Chains A and B, each alone.
Chain A
Amino acid sequence: MIEAKGIFKSFGSRPVLCGVDIAVQDGETLCIIGGSGCGKSTFLKCVIGLVRPDQGSISVDGMDIAGLSAELDVARYRRRFGYLFQEAALFDSLTVWENVSFGLRYLTDVPQAKFRQIARDKLALVGLKDIEDFKPAELSGGMKKRVGLARAIAAEPGYILYDEPTTGLDPIMSDVINDLIIDLQKKLKVTSIVVTHDMKSAYKIASRIAMLHEGQVQAVDRPEAIKASSDPVIRQFVEGRSEGPIKMKLRDFEPGAPAPRRKAGSGA
């Protein structure tokens, strides 16, 4: 179980997370939705320890990441996670199978002789074969995402964190990735957090959906309840309308409006 309590994070003078409380139950897939820059990816990076919250605590199976100082403990903490990056973040200099098996060397005691076979098995699990010796530059966007997914599950983590898994893909490939996420959840019995702004994807894969708005959790509920919500912020987002309470953000960029504040640090 992942439990985040009162998470605050700012980049320079710009607050991104302003007291986020989210609990993810074992075996569920929680989708976090919200507009660009609302702190979704930052929250995901806080969970895995890539970004340190300014305040608040995140515990996974009772282990609080804030209390981990020794590198070995941090490594043990991260061993529980697989992470699919938005652009897959495959290592350009390595082949596909080397990418997939990369974590095995540092996260597990699996002998090196088995790496290639494990990579092949994980690639098969995400529907890819005969591409083990390709370099990432030779793959399409959808294939890169799937290789990234194979890499995320290679060390058999208990938790998988997906950062916008369908962004930049065509609708068919997006659906393939959605099916893969559902399939992996069933086969591997993993707990997942999926950050997305693709509502079609969220409705399909989520056990629950959490909406972030202005650095806080606007609502957490089952997909049907989110779909039927009367909350104007949620309604505007799920219907994809430019008119509504989230409009204030857009006005920042309209002619005559004050210039938007410069983004400091890495964004959400």
Chain B
Amino acid sequence: MTAVFSWVGRFLFDLFEEVGELAFLVRSSARWAVRSPIEWRQTLVQMQRIGVESLPVSAMTSFFTGMVLALQSGATSKHFFNEPLFVGTVVSFAVVMELSPVMTSLVVSGRAGAAIAAELGTMKVTEQIDALYTLGTDPVRYLVIPRVLAFVLVLPFLVVISDFTGVLGGFVVASVKLRVAANVYWHDIIDNMRVRHFVHGYIKAYVFALVIAFICCYKGITTRDGAEGVGKSTTTAVVLSMVSVLVLDYFVTAVLVALGIT
């Protein structure tokens, strides 16, 4: 029994400690971002790594998600109404407001987030982060801010592309498999989608970008214990950022619904 209490106590202590340290990292980043010039070269390199290199996989994921959605909604609609109704509406609402920001964030945190945690973790255990201090700069300024900025600039852009490919995937299945006329599918979308629905998805993308970037940078620069530590912090960074995206998705949606952005 004592062991259980001890374990729970230690777990809670570690959790609060990590959350506190993460909060300090966010505060330090905000201070550096205001005080010193942005490392644009680093930011562009990161944008290329996070954005361009993640684009094919996020677009493909969204394309197939759109296809599945069209198939599911078409089949259900056929079952109840004998014909596939509102396939375009279902696909576009689900993709734009929910699936595209969430799926893209999961894909990017698995790909770019892991790479960031591993890179910063390796820099930490090989003393490259200490070297930054001795050479007159701060790792938050040189490493964290460019990555956070790159995530915030790139993730919403990836979501735009995913919106498009998701709806396109839905269109392919709707027209080839479900025999829905092209003008019906597109009119379903145009007649029902409004700008606020896109805004809903992009606000989520910004929130998720910040969360993934800070978690992965934090886990990277606090890595300890050599190669084993790098592996551990990379895995933790990915798991933590994915879980955070899924949990936060509910709360962000609740706030957006309350604000009428839906």
Contacts and interface: CB of A to CB of B under 8 A. Distances in A.
Contact of B127 (A71, A82, A89, A92): A89
Interface residues of A, number: 27
A155 B135 CA distance: 9
B133 A107 contact: no
Which of A48, A106, A107 counts the most chain B CB atoms within 10 A?
A: A106
A203 interface: no
Nearest to A163: B127
B136 A89 contact: no
Given A81-B134, A91-B128, A155-B136, 14 more contacts: A49-B133, A50-B134, A78-B136, A83-B134, A85-B130, A87-B127, A89-B127, A89-B130, A91-B131, A92-B122, A92-B123, A92-B128, A103-B135, A107-B136
B136 A79 contact: yes
A81 B131 CA distance: 12
A66 interface: no
Interface in A81-109: 81-83, 85-87, 89-93, 102-103, 105-107
Contacts, number: 50
26 contacts: A45-B130, A48-B133, A48-B134, A50-B130, A50-B133, A78-B133, A78-B134, A82-B134, A83-B131, A83-B134, A85-B127, A85-B130, A85-B131, A87-B126, A87-B127, A89-B126, A89-B127, A89-B131, A90-B128, A92-B123, A93-B45, A105-B136, A106-B136, A107-B135, A151-B135, A155-B136
A48 B130 CA distance: 10
B249 interface: no
B50 to A, nearest CB: 15
A75 interface: yes
Which of B123, B128, B134, B137 counts the most chain A CB atoms within 10 A?
A: B134
A78 B123 CA distance: 20
Nearest to A79: B136
Contacts of A85: 127, 130-131
Contact of A75 (B123, B127, B131, B136): B136
A81 B136 CA distance: 10
The 5 closest A-B pairs by CB, nearest first: A106-B136, A103-B135, A107-B136, A89-B127, A89-B131
Nearest to B133: A50
A83 B224 CA distance: 22
B138 interface: yes
Contacts of A79: 136
Nearest to B129: A89
Interface string B162-173: 000000000000
A71 B138 contact: yes
B111 to A, nearest CB: 18
A86 B127 contact: yes
Contacts of A151: 135
Contact of A89 (B128, B137, B138, B224): B128
A257 to B, nearest CB: 24
A107 B45 CA distance: 23
Contacts of A75: 136
B191 to A, nearest CB: 50
A105 B136 CA distance: 8
A15 to B, nearest CB: 20
A103 B45 CA distance: 20
Interface string B210-226: 00000000000000100
Contacts of B122: 92
Contacts of A83: 131, 134
A106 B123 CA distance: 19
B45 to A, nearest CB: 8
Interface in A202-233: none
Nearest to B32: A71
Interface in B133-163: 133-138
Interface string B99-115: 00000000000000000
A144 to B, nearest CB: 11
Contacts of B131: 83, 85, 89-91
Contacts of B134: 48, 50, 78, 81-83, 103
A45 B127 CA distance: 12
